[in-house]
């Protein structure tokens, strides 16, 4: 993910651990033949060919995970059968859409993976678009872009719409049109009682509220989403490269710049570890280059300014990146509600190798939604700050996590974080991800999953 291209449960932990241990023996004793009679070869067990490839998460730090079975669902009824089976046998179960969970929560050890990636139909109904929950972002953009339409989403083509939407969905047109979840009109979801429900502002509104930012893996398994689409905007992409050592000044200037920026402007400020540290600023403007240049002039002079007009689809292809099969990393985030001193960022990154902090601009339309209007609480943040450490070059996961903790906690930005950058070691994770929305979210989770069929380490 280079700077020049995409620069850019209600119980105790002990209760969860106990559940996982009893589930291990439950999975071994499970009569998988029953589910196999229903799914045929679409139920993949460890002895089946393809298992070792199919089980892999995107984050290869978790490549050792061995689920008891992977169910390749092609219709909502398959999902119903899987949830009923997992509930009956008391085995861990998780939905998997694009498999990009930072902590690989979509691949439960000794559990059942309910893979919905074949539920990937994208269909317009007027200007609303129904999207199968397993659709990858790249495929979504190709289809809706061809219709001259857009839905706000993220920037990597292999990320699934499932996890992205349920956690919020930050992307290049979010300051103009909101988060992905802000554009959700309804969803079809199989709840742990086996019901396939259609939820919207008018039907089961509490569950609909919870699906918009309450995090993947909670409440049920979504089979499709219906989004409002907007006319695809013309985009000007930009990249500003700065000399080494300019990090502190650029980080300070970037935050000030966005405090007064129009909704049409979105950007990231990526800061890389090193001696000295380095920084680049990139982003998009929804309008022509001639209107962007005066805005760019307000930033410190860059050694290189790259500006390119393109269609929405071209821009989404640009940000989509290549076909990455998997990457080993540990990552976390904080929400920046106040100015983060650039000098502090520079100090955190100085002297290290292959880690970074990436600020992503908030504000605009996404910031004008009330923090309790959807489950996504961080509406008043000025930016998200993602901390990312590559686990490469002999670095162990434990070493990576130590660096990560120093970045995350060294930022001094309080105790909040983005659930889609889920960090298994996030202190006080439930409050960090959900803030004031936590009590209502837990109530919804208890109502729809009273037996905690969907329990996982950071589940509601
Ligand atoms: C390379 C990369 C780029 C990214 N870019 C962005 C970005 O631009 N913007 C952004 O906001 N985030 C981004 N993310 C974070 C991303 O939004 C989360 O990792 C998200 O959870 C991934 O969803 P998924 O469906 O791909 O993953 P999965 O691993 O399949 O699922 C993630 C979580 O959601 C649950 N889940 C999946 N499908 C369903 C379903 N149908 N119903 C219920 N629960 C479900 C899973 O059980 C798991 O807990 C990026 C992540 C990576 C690795």
Q: What is the pLDDT of residue 24?
A: 54
Torsion of CA 86, 90, 95, 101, to 10 degrees: -160
Lookup: tokens for 319: 């940000």
pLDDT at position 196: 98
**Residues within 6 Å of ligand 1 by CB:** 58, 94-102, 105-106, 116, 133, 154-156, 159-160, 162-164, 166-171, 216-217, 221-222, 420
Answer yes or no: are the C-beta atoms of 285 and 238 closer than 8 Å.
yes
The torsion defined by the Cα of 335, 379, 140 and 419, in degrees rounded to 10, comes to: 40
| Ligand 1 pocket: which of 5, 71, 97 to mutate (most atoms within 8 A of CB) | 97
Q: Is the pLDDT of residue 323 over 90?
A: no
Tell the residue nearest (CA) to atom 26 of ligand 1.
98
- Nearest atom within ligand 1 for CA of residue 97: 30
pLDDT of 251 over the 90 cut: yes
Q: How far is CA 81 from CA 44, 199, 450, in A?
A: 15, 20, 18
In the chain, the domains with their CATH numbers are 13-115 (3.30.43.10), 122-231+436-448 (3.30.465.10), 235-426 (3.40.462.20)
Determine the residue of 62, 100, 104 to mutate for testing ligand 1's pocket, defined as the one with the most ligand atoms within 8 A of the Cβ atom. Answer: 100
Index of the ligand 1 atom closest to the CA of residue 219? 43
Residue 21 pLDDT exceeds 80 = no
The minimum-distance atom of ligand 1 relative to the CA of 456 is 49
Report H helices in 336-417.
342-349, 364-367, 397-410
Per-residue pLDDT tens digits for 433-442: 999 999 999 9
Q: Atom 3, ligand 1: which residue's CA is nearest?
A: 156
Among 106, 181, 282, residue to substitute to test ligand 1 (most atoms within 8 Å of Cβ): 106
Q: What is the pLDDT of residues 183-209, one digit of tens each?
A: 999 999 999 999 999 999 999 999 999
User: Quick one: which atom of ligand 1 is closest to the CA of 158?
Assistant: 26
DSSP 3-state of 139: helix
pLDDT for 25 equals 56
Q: How far is the CA of 58 from the centre of ligand 1 (A)?
A: 10
Whole-Å CA distances, 377 to 152, 342, 364, 415: 18, 25, 15, 13
Residue 441 CA: distances (Å) to CA of 59, 303, 375? 27, 47, 7
CA within 13 Å, CB half, 191:
19
Q: What is the pLDDT of residue 13?
A: 36
pLDDT level of residue 10 (50, 70, 90 thresholds): very low
Task: Name the pTM for this structure.
Answer: 0.94
Helix ranges, 135-235 (H): 137-146, 161-167, 174-177, 205-211
Kindly indicate the confidence band of residue 30, based on its pLDDT and cuts at 50, 70 and 90: confident
Residue nearest to atom 8 of ligand 1 (CA): 154
Q: How far apart are CA 14 and CA 2, in angstroms?
A: 39
The pLDDT mean for the chain works out to 93
Q: Which residue has tokens 């209007």? A: 373
Taking residues 383-403, report their average pLDDT.
Answer: 97
| Tens of pLDDT, residues 270-287 | 999 999 999 999 999 999
Which tokens is 453 given? 């069929």
Among the residue ranges 215-229, 317-331, 380-394, the one predicted with the least confidence is 317-331
pLDDT per position as a tens digit, 37-50: 999 999 999 999 99
Give the helix/strand (H/E) hosting 200.
strand 196-200
Vertex 141, ends 140 and 146: CA angle to 5°? 110
Mutation to probe ligand 1, out of 9, 73, 117, 159 (largest number of atoms < 8 A from CB): 159
| pLDDT above 90 (res 343) | yes
């Amino acid at each position: 993910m280079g700077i020049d291209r995409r620069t850019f449960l209600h119980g105790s932990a002990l209760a969860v651990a106990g559940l996982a241990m009893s589930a291990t023996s439950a999975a071994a004793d499970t009569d998988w033949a029953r589910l196999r009679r229903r799914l045929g070869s679409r139920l993949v067990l460890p002895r089946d060919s393809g298992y070792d490839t199919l089980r892999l998460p995107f984050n290869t730090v978790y490549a050792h995970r061995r689920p008891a079975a992977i169910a390749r669902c092609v219709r909502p009824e398959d999902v119903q059968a899987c949830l009923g089976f997992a509930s009956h046998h008391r085995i861990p179960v998780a939905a998997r859409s694009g498999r990009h969970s930072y902590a690989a929560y979509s691949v439960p050890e000794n559990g059942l993976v309910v893979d919905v990636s074949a539920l990937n139909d994208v269909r317009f109904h007027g200007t609303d678009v129904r999207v199968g929950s397993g659709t990858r972002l790249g495929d979504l953009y190709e289809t809706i872009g061809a219709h001259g339409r857009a839905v706000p989403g993220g920037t990597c083509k292999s990320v699934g719409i499932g996890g992205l939407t349920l956690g919020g969905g930050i992307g290049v047109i979010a300051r103009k049109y909101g988060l992905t979840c802000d554009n959700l009109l309804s969803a079809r979801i199989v709840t742990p009682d086996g019901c396939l429900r259609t939820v919207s502002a008018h039907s089961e509104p509490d569950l609909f509220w919870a699906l918009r930012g309450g995090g993947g893996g909670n409440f049920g398994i979504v089979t499709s989403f219906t989004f409002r689409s907007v006319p695809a905007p013309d985009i000007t992409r930009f990249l500003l490269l700065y000399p080494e050592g300019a990090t502190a000044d650029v980080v300070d200037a970037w935050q000030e710049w966005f405090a007064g920026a129009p909704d049409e402007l979105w950007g990231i400020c990526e800061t890389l570890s090193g001696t000295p540290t380095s920084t680049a600023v990139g982003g998009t403007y929804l309008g022509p280059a001639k209107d962007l240049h005066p805005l760019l002039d307000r930033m410190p002079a860059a050694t290189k300014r790259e500006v390119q007009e393109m269609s929405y689809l071209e821009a989404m292809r640009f940000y989509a990146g290549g076909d990455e099969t998997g990457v080993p990393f540990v990552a976390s985030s904080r929400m920046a509600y106040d100015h983060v001193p650039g000098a502090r960022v520079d100090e955190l990154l100085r002297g290290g190798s292959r880690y970074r902090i990436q600020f992503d601009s908030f504000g605009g339309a996404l910031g004008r939604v009330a923090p309790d209007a959807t489950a996504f609480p961080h509406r008043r943040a000025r930016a998200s700050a993602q901390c990312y450490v590559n686990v490469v070059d002999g670095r162990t996961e434990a070493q990576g996590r130590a660096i990560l903790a120093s970045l995350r906690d060294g930022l001094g930005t309080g105790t909040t974080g983005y659930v889609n950058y889920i960090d298994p070691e996030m202190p006080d994770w439930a409050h960090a991800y959900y803030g004031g929305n936590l009590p209502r979210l837990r109530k919804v989770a208890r109502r729809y999953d009273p037996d905690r069929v969907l329990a996982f380490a950071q589940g509601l």
